């Protein structure tokens, strides 16, 4: 049972345009969400996070939007650059997990290609 779903396996956009990556979740206990980027042969790199008490968080070209009622979040990259081409993972956690451990539940990832 996939609790974090990234329904688009791939996305292709032109350089300079907006990239929108989507993520849906089913567990209402999730209250912290993160986006990671992964290049081939490297580990995931943290991009941006959002707590459930917010509906938007912005960091430079990256903005994450959270719609709790729809259990949906999205990552916007504006403007997109060829170096953004990577696999993007959405991950979620429930801060009230027993032991306060950092169990992250991950989606399957979306492969973004930004074309020059």
Q: From the CB of 104, what's the least distance to other proteins, in Å?
A: 6
Q: Residue 19 pairs with which residues in a beta bridge?
A: 77
Q: How many angstroms separate the CA atoms of 83 and 5, rounded?
A: 25
Indicate the residue among 16 and 39 with the shorter CB distance to other proteins: 39
Q: From the CB of 66, what's the least distance to other proteins, in Å?
A: 15
Indicate the residue among 3 and 15 with the shorter CB distance to other proteins: 3
Q: From the CB of 116, what's the least distance to other proteins, in Å?
A: 27
Q: From the CB of 16, what's the least distance to other proteins, in Å?
A: 28
Cis (ω within 30 of 0) for the bond into 30? no
Q: How many angstroms separate the CA atoms of 62 and 113, rounded?
A: 16
Indicate the residue among 75 and 91 with the shorter CB distance to other proteins: 91
Distance of CA 28 to the CA centre of its chain: 17
Contact present, 113 and 10 (Cβ < 8 Å)? yes
Q: Catalog residues that contact other proteins under the rule CB under 8 A.
A: 4, 31-32, 34, 36, 41-46, 49, 51, 89, 91, 93, 95, 97-109
Indicate the residue among 32 and 65 with the shorter CB distance to other proteins: 32
Cα 26 to Cα 1, 57, 58, 116, distances in angstroms: 10, 21, 24, 36
């Amino acid at each position: 049972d996939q609790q974090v779903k990234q329904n688009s396996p791939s996305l292709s956009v032109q350089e300079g345009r907006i990239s929108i990556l989507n993520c849906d979740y089913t567990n209402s206990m999730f209250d912290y969400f993160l986006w990671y980027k992964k290049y081939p042969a490297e580990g995931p790199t943290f991009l941006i996070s959002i707590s459930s008490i917010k509906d938007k968080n912005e960091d430079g070209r990256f903005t994450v939007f959270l719609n709790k009622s729809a259990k949906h979040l999205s990552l916007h990259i504006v403007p997109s650059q060829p170096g953004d081409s990577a696999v993007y993972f959405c991950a979620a956690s429930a801060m009230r997990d027993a032991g306060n451990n950092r169990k992250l539940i991950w989606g399957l990832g979306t492969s973004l290609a930004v074309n020059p």
